[in-house]
Amino acid sequence: MTAKEAEKLLLQNGFILLRQKGSHRIYLKGKIRQVLPFHAGQTLHPKIVKEIMENIDK
């Protein structure tokens, strides 16, 4: 999964872009915060993908 695909998934599930610092974008949904390292063309680490999936299900 790329950062662009993950961003689309987060936005579709009610997360909003709170802020960005460097290449890290911080999304918020209620009290759930998700940091997404946004490096174009690179795939995300499996642990980050797992964390995103868990946060979407909350």
By C-alpha distance, which of 1, 8, 7 is closest to 42?
A: 1
By C-alpha distance, which of 30, 17, 32 is closest to 6?
A: 17
> Residues 3, 42: contact at Cβ < 8 Å?
yes
What is this structure's pTM? 0.91
Please state the rounded mean pLDDT for residues 4-16.
97
Tokens 């993950």, located at residue? 6
> Residues 9, 56: contact at Cβ < 8 Å?
yes
Give the CATH number for residue 40. Answer: 3.30.920.30
Task: Write out the residue range of the structural domain in which residue 48 sits.
Answer: 3-57
> Residues 38, 31: contact at Cβ < 8 Å?
no
Q: Is the pLDDT at 41 greater than 90, yes or no?
A: no
In tens, the pLDDT along 16-40 reads: 999 999 999 999 999 999 999 999 8
State the total domains in the chain.
1
pLDDT computed for residue 58 by the predictor: 86
